[in-house]
Amino acid sequence: MTLAIIHTRAGLGLEAPEVQVEVHLANGLPGMTLVGLPEAAVKESRERVRSALVNAGFDFPNTRRITLNLAPADLPKEGGRFDLPIALGLLVASGQVPAEALEGIESAGELALDGRLRPVTGVLPLAMATRAVGRRLIVPRANADEAALAGDLEVLPADHLLEVVAHLLGQSPIARHRLARPAAIAGPGADLIDVRGQHQARRALEVAAAGGHNLLFAGPPGTGKTMLASRLPGILPPLSEDEALEVAAIRSVSGLALREQWGQRPFRAPHHTASAVALVGGGSKPRPGEISLAHHGVLFLDEFPEFSRHVLEVMREPMESGQIHIARASHERRYPARFQLVAAMNPCPCGHLGDPRNRCQCTAAQIQRYQARLSGPLLDRIDLQVEVPALPPEQLTSRAVGEPSAVVRERVMAARARQQARGALNAHLAGRELEAACGLEAADRAWLAGVLERLRLSARAYHRVLRVALTLADLAGAPRPERDQLIEAIGYRQLDRMLKG
């Protein structure tokens, strides 16, 4: 047989479209041609495959004209994952392996020059796509655990090309890799019980967790803003099976470890010098950014105004849509980005504005320029804006402690159960659904309209107030927001007015 077709898959963001590796041997001037829109690493596979076959003791068709086609031709191919399929295609086309042995099998893996199989990135999306079409999957042993996370999929792990061929020839079958689905890792050790005082900030953290709201802490240095933010994952509900797979798939295409983080809410805290590409994703070869790595988890931005304004503004659309669309001339990627933003900032450049212990040294112009780094449209997208004041010494040294994270988590899960019955978290409810869920009385509606007019809040801020009020009602077990919940929800917009004013 001089023509062989091997099945594998490309990596296109979180998608894994099928690729057919077509190998044809013909008479003519000896040589090897690789077509099908391969990038540099794929083109170099010709030399890796040649050496791997020879060093493993197989016959390489040096006297034939070899044409390798990666179909479809208009789909970009990158990485070393095509080495193994190309090598198997050459073995089938040259008659060293029967074509029937590869029926119902897909493969992926990079080859070392001696025939060893090296792991590749993005195996979990590939495995999930392979499972969907009912085929088996041959991968390097280092990728076997990751591939097995896909569930009901026959994963065949190998360390060397010789093992793969021995399996296909029926000489030494490879046993199916079995992996018990890892148990969800317990939340991080950081517990709310460690936080002294700051009752309003703790309350805001609970509300944010219950409704999926974005949150901004503002206060002098050392008041516990970072400590509070790090406790948010500990009061969020555990990830569902589907959510855990989504998080793992993003980490897979990013080349990050999976099992150590399985079932745990992501907590990403990029430095304020991060670029727009690092934050939202992109590059010449688009990769997920921090907002996608924080999918179903928390994105913590400390020193919020110190981030470049351009970097912060590119987050506005993903904060609304829950995804990021990266377009390039030849291709595009879509990555999920349904994260909770928790930001922390000082009230002024020196950090001591409003701090009774330290006098602020900033001028009014400096304070205005510092606070103006955050645009109004960005602040409108942050539901809860809370001042975190400096604590008096007697509170810091007090033995009184607040509720532990486990107790708060129970209330959060109960509130989220009510929201799931409505179809979505309050932070994601559309305008019409939100209005129907709130069901405000005519008197409350008129009162709220007057308050919003006096406070000069935008239409988006109005809906944010309703969402927070609805979450407060869910935490209280009330069927709809009352005047008390509306007043508390508006109270969480005070910082918004201060920064805009």
- In this prediction, residue 272 carries a pLDDT of 93
- In this prediction, residue 426 carries a pLDDT of 93
- In this prediction, residue 187 carries a pLDDT of 46
- In this prediction, residue 114 carries a pLDDT of 96
Residues 6 or more apart whose CB falls under 8 angstroms from that of 39 comprise 76, 77, 78
Beta carbons of 111 and 44 less than 8 angstroms apart:
no
Both structure tokens of 62: 């040096």
Best CATH choice for the domain 192-416 from the list 3.75.10.10, 3.90.1530.30, 3.40.50.300, 3.30.390.10: 3.40.50.300
- In this prediction, residue 186 carries a pLDDT of 47
Each residue's pLDDT, cut to its tens digit, for the chain (501 residues) gives 689 999 999 998 899 999 999 999 998 888 899 999 999 999 999 999 999 999 999 999 988 999 999 999 989 899 999 999 999 999 999 999 999 999 999 999 999 999 999 999 999 999 999 999 999 999 999 999 999 998 889 999 999 999 999 999 999 999 999 876 655 554 446 888 888 878 899 999 999 999 999 999 999 998 889 999 999 999 999 999 889 999 999 999 988 877 666 778 999 999 999 999 999 998 877 889 999 999 999 999 999 999 999 999 999 999 989 999 887 766 778 899 999 999 999 989 998 887 878 888 899 899 888 988 888 888 888 999 999 988 877 666 666 677 899 999 999 999 999 999 988 999 998 878 888 899 888 898 889 888 888 887 777 788 889 999 999 999 999 999 999 999 999 988 866 555 544
- In this prediction, residue 397 carries a pLDDT of 65
- In this prediction, residue 345 carries a pLDDT of 93
Domain boundaries, the chain: 3-168, 192-416
CB count in 10 Å sphere of residue 422:
15
Q: How far apart are CA 400 and CA 406, in angstroms?
A: 18
3-168 fold = Ribosomal Protein S5; domain 2 (3.30.230)
DSSP per residue, 82-125: THHHHHHHHHHHTTSS-GGGGTTEEE--EE-TTSBEE--S-HHH
Please name which of 231, 243, 240 lies closest in space to residue 206, comparing C-alpha atoms. Answer: 231
Both structure tokens of 283: 């590059």
HSE-CB of 63 using CA atoms within 13 angstroms? 2
- In this prediction, residue 485 carries a pLDDT of 93
- In this prediction, residue 294 carries a pLDDT of 95
